[in-house]
Amino acid sequence: MNLRDLEYLAAVGELKHFRKAAEKCFVSQPTLSG
């Protein structure tokens, strides 16, 4: 696990929604959930 993974995890935890977290992190939703 690296810092980017932790940022993704924090965004999902904060927003409680994969699509919104993906938008916040500027990545696609499959990248975030995969």
Q: Which residues touch 25 (CB under 8 Å, ≥6 apart)?
A: 7, 8, 11, 32
pLDDT (0 to 100) of residue 3: 97
Give per-residue pLDDT as tens, 1-34. 899 999 999 999 999 999 999 999 999 999 988 8
pLDDT (0 to 100) of residue 10: 97
Domains of the chain: total:
1
Domain ranges, residue 16: 3-33
pLDDT (0 to 100) of residue 33: 85
pLDDT (0 to 100) of residue 4: 95
3-state secondary structure the chain: CCHHHHHHHHHHHHHCCHHHHHHHHCCCHHHHHC
pLDDT (0 to 100) of residue 6: 96
